Chains A and B, each alone.
Chain A
Amino acid sequence: MSAALSFAPAPRDPARSFQDMILTLHDFWSANGCVILQPYDMRMGAGTFHTATTLRALGPEPWNAAFVQPCRRPTDGRYGENPNRLQHYYQYQVILKPSPSDIQELYLQSLAAIGIDPLAHDIRFVEDDWESPTLGAWGLGWEVWCDGMEVTQFTYFQQMGGFDCKPVAGELTYGLERLAMYIQGVDNVYDLAFNTAGVTYGDVFLENERQMSKWNFEVADTETLFEGFRRAEAECLRSLEAGVPIAAYEQAIEASHLFNLLQARGVISVQERASYMGRVRDLARSSCEAYAEKMTPEWQAKYPGWSLV
């Protein structure tokens, strides 16, 4: 190969570049046997909604994956004016099934890899149990503190879609912007260095935050959103009947996000809120259940004696 075509990547600089921090996490988890996935191509409120987490947490087969998932939280929008709050931000998700016995050590190594020295910074595992009624899921774990700041949610899934996790998966959710702000020593998220060539997080996202906050809170057509919700709900149920639960699950995610937008528009009353949440929950749980039931024969063939319930 001629020298002109050869490429040697520059050393990662996670302490001075948001993207290098992400790439370092990819390197780390890839080296530890994870499939490095790309984000799910739908709007969702948390990385846990990615099928690589929810659906893959079901069943007996081992599954190790890591990925960045953009998260949309319409009501957290602040028009780009708050240094800590965004309506769109990134989570880094790692899912390890079954949970390895050295999962805490692996996690701490990943922090060291992005430049957090545990003798310079006070790392603590503080009780924080996780529950998602929407997904019929819960788990026990911690929020991980770094000098008093929550940087990761660490959960051992016990149930998903109403089923016991057999085996249990460990889930790590890193808040990427917070972690980067901490590592880079920056007080305003928009001041984060996105790379080492002078591009900031603000260069990439500030205008998006301004416009999307406005759209979420003021512009989005509520009739379209209500209609979208109804259609997603109907399509979810149709997909369930047609025996394609993954497609049904996508519609449940869609309905969940449309509900969040309706909330941001302030058009759902307190009384209606519970009812909408119940509808989303039914869709998500039915999809998880249908998926688990559809897959069970295959799982049982590979794991004789394994049972869903």
Chain B
Amino acid sequence: MADFLLELRCEEIPARMQPKAKEDLARLFGEALAKAGLQAEAIEAFATPRRLALIAKGLPVATTAVSEETKGPKVGAPPQALEGFLRKVGLAAEQLVERDGVYFAVVEKPGRETAEVLAEAVPAIIRAFPWPKSMRWGAASLTTESLRWVRPLSGIIALLDGEVVPFEVDGIASGRTTMGHRFHHSGPVEIADAATYVETLRAAHVIVHFSERCRLIREGAEKVAAEAGLTLVADEGLVIENAGLTEWPVPLLGRFDEAFLDVPPEVIQLTARVNQKYFVCEDAQGRLANAFVCTANIDPIDASVVVDGNRKVLAARLSDARFFWEQDQKTPLAVHAEKLARITFHEKLGTVADKVERVAKLARWLCEEGIVAGDPALAEQAARLCKADLVTEMVGEFPELQGLMGGYYAAKEGLPQEVSDAIRDHYKPVGQGDDVPTAPVTVAVSLADKLDTLRSFFAIDEKPTGSKDPFALRRAALGIIRIITENGLRMGVAEGDLLDFFADRLKVQQREAGVRHDLIDAVFALGGEDDLVRLLARVHALQAFVTTEDGTNLLAGYKRAANILKKEGFAATEGAQTLSYTPEPAEKALIDALDAAAPRAAEAVEAERFADAMAALATLRAPIDRFFEEVTVNAEEAEKRSSRLALLGRFRDAVHRVADFSRIEG
């Protein structure tokens, strides 16, 4: 068994690409081994800004010899078949082996040295490496055929049990030499073998393990915050990003001018995070503190110099943010909103101002109709202002603050809190875990905004297809579903195509809540149901029922009745019939049960007491079972036969008024 070390050293790899590159390298290497019939006991990959590396432990030193057998034509098959087979396997007729009247081609493949396999496999992996973006460089790039890598590739280590596996990729020969930290170590570093790689580089100020650098950053940042009497605001995304920017991470805490704390904390946090990749801290009361934590890639001679430089950069950024914050407030939101007339929403749907106009009317209407219990005037006012922050300087700089800034500016203007809250939260819910608005004015604006988006895009036939959903209509529909169902809003949500679209989204959304999609279909199939709250109540009652024994059996009875009716081509259904003969007891029992249950079920459905409707259906279970056991539908007398079919028709229809049981699986 042998251990293999591979290091691909290059200029700084973008931080965001390192985690995936590490996985890709391990995967591609494992696949290449498998193709050669080799397997390592363990493969571990590493990434730093300047290297991608891998250690494979427990590799066999050679592949095992294999004999590959290919089945050929039968002995005595036409000569063309034999010739074709010989061409395919590249053998002569006398080299074939005959067994049980069939020719076989047997090719003996001797074992190969693992080093030889690796010398072939690694260059192939390098040439085909799936970087999201790659480039050419240097003198070799005189042609476009030259090697591509994420940034210029500068060295390769390939050691099998400490011996160099020799190969060359575009002029770069494999060896055992690498470089340590860019500044803390000078000159080349020689690596003895896989076992000493990590520690040799650590001595050269490089932490090879991505996870170890993450831990150093996480714990170091928490520590410097704690030393300042503060709590670090955890941000795993920043931890990972900083781990991708450093080989020797050193978190350092700095302070910024307290005066900047007038700016909303979200703005400060975003400025620090997005532009500078700094963490922020909170004080004991949970308020944002005037502190930041940057992660240096060196142990600086004097930390205060590095911190001070970073402080200045942050100060310049925060001055810009404060300038935007103050500048934006000089203009009322209503005046900002006027500029929306200059922004195209969609070429076929007019400007953002046009959209705002539609949303404002719809939000007002939702309140006036009592669908949402909000003040119509406030809903309209909030809707008219909800997009105004899109033209503010702050949102221009940080688009992710849309809504939030509008909310702040509205509050600063002294607008009613319902209005500023609605502006702030009207994009919600954004993701699956996001809160659903519950404040009535917010609900009205949020719902109106999303409904308008869906209706407008459906009206111009811009519907999502497959994986394409450029206007995020699925997310909008999901948002509407959550707002309606979680707030219990009673309204017709849509019609036609759009209603079908909602049905699909509802099925996806409810699947996670454990609701069966066939039951949703069974209720939608009745047609005319555009009230999602009522629909779900019915579906929930149906699901509770069909999982009981009565429900399962009634479903079986329904399907049997429906099959018979279908086979007999029975379509017309009439009300209760007067029979000219004396019904059999089981027949009579079903008639009586239907007479009692059908109106009860219909009435319960009408009153939206769906559990009662199910209970009424449950009373049919025993009579229908007994009917099928004791009564011959296909009686010789035509009259009996038609009456019994009509009875089954009545049964089917009574069940059908509650849900289309033919859509239910099982």
Contact = CB atoms under 8 A, between A and B. Distances in A.
Interface of A: 60, 84, 98-101, 104, 108, 117-127, 129, 139-140, 142, 146-149, 156, 158, 164-168, 170, 182, 187, 269-271, 303, 306
Contact of A99 (B16, B152, B298, B314): B152
A260 B375 CA distance: 47
B138 A118 contact: no
A122 B296 contact: yes
Contacts of A167: 136, 138-142
Nearest to B143: A166
Nearest to B16: A127
A270 B141 CA distance: 40
A149 B305 CA distance: 13
B154 interface: yes
A149 B15 CA distance: 18
A131 to B, nearest CB: 11
A119 B298 contact: yes
B346 interface: no
Given A119-B298, A158-B135, A127 B15 contact: yes
A271 B351 CA distance: 12
Interface residues of B, number: 47
B309 A100 contact: no
Contact of B300 (A108, A122, A127): A122
A84 B343 contact: no
Given A167-B142, A168-B138, A187 B312 contact: yes
A306 B297 contact: no
A121 B314 CA distance: 16
Nearest to A149: B313
Nearest to A98: B139
B441 to A, nearest CB: 31
A128 to B, nearest CB: 9
A268 B550 CA distance: 73
A248 to B, nearest CB: 27
A305 to B, nearest CB: 9
A140 B135 contact: yes
B306 A121 contact: yes
B581 interface: no
A122 B301 contact: no
Contact of A148 (B142, B151, B313): B313
6 contacts: A119-B298, A121-B305, A121-B309, A122-B306, A125-B12, A303-B142
Contacts of B342: 269-270
A182 B306 CA distance: 11
A140 B183 contact: no
B149 to A, nearest CB: 10
A124 B301 CA distance: 16
A104 B138 contact: no
Given A119-B301, A166-B142, A148 B310 contact: yes
Given A120-B302, A126-B245, A166 B11 contact: no
Contacts of B417: none
B310 A270 contact: no
B570 interface: no
Contact of A122 (B49, B298, B314, B316): B298
**Most chain B beta carbons < 10 A, residue from A142, A166, A167:** A167
Interface in B304-324: 305-306, 308-310, 312-314, 316
A126 B17 CA distance: 12
Interface in B122-173: 133, 135-144, 150-152, 154
Contacts of A100: 138
B142 A118 contact: no
Contacts of A156: 135-137, 151-152
Contacts of B133: 129, 140
Contacts of A271: 344
Contact of A147 (B140, B143, B152, B306): B306
A274 to B, nearest CB: 11
A27 B311 CA distance: 32
A187 B257 CA distance: 14
Interface of B: 11-12, 14-16, 49, 133, 135-144, 150-152, 154, 182-184, 245-246, 276, 278, 294, 296-298, 300-302, 305-306, 308-310, 312-314, 316, 342-344
**Most chain B beta carbons < 10 A, residue from A123, A126, A170:** A126
Contact of A168 (B137, B183, B278): B137
B305 A147 contact: yes
Nearest to B14: A127
B49 A147 contact: no
A146 B309 contact: yes
Contacts of B151: 140, 156
Contacts of A303: 142
A24 B138 CA distance: 26
A118 B182 contact: yes
Nearest to B339: A270
Nearest to A84: B316
B309 A182 contact: yes
A84 B246 CA distance: 28
Contacts of A122: 294, 296-298, 300, 306, 309-310
B142 A120 contact: no
A98 B313 contact: no
**What 9 pairs across the A-B complex have the smallest Cβ distances?**
A147-B309, A127-B14, A125-B12, A148-B310, A122-B296, A167-B141, A168-B141, A118-B183, A148-B313
Nearest to B301: A120
Contacts of B182: 108, 118, 123
A38 B315 CA distance: 35
B322 to A, nearest CB: 13
Given A122-B300, A124-B245, A127-B14, A101 B138 contact: yes
Given A99-B141, A125-B11, 5 more contacts: A121-B309, A122-B296, A122-B310, A148-B309, A156-B137
Nearest to B139: A98
A140 B297 CA distance: 22
Contacts of A84: 316
Given A122-B297, A168-B136, A101 B152 contact: yes
Contacts of B246: 124
A84 B316 CA distance: 8
Contact of A60 (B135, B142, B308): B142
B14 A104 contact: no
A84 B312 CA distance: 11
A119 B11 contact: no
A306 B310 CA distance: 47
B49 A125 contact: yes
Contact of B142 (A139, A140, A187, A306): A306
Contact of B276 (A139, A148, A182, A306): A148
A181 to B, nearest CB: 9
B300 A121 contact: yes
A121 to B, nearest CB: 7
B314 A148 contact: yes
Contacts of B278: 148
B50 to A, nearest CB: 9
A101 B154 contact: yes
**Most chain B beta carbons < 10 A, residue from A84, A104, A124:** A124
A124 B138 contact: no
A166 B183 CA distance: 32
A98 B138 contact: yes
Nearest to A187: B312
A49 to B, nearest CB: 22
Contacts of A124: 245-246, 297
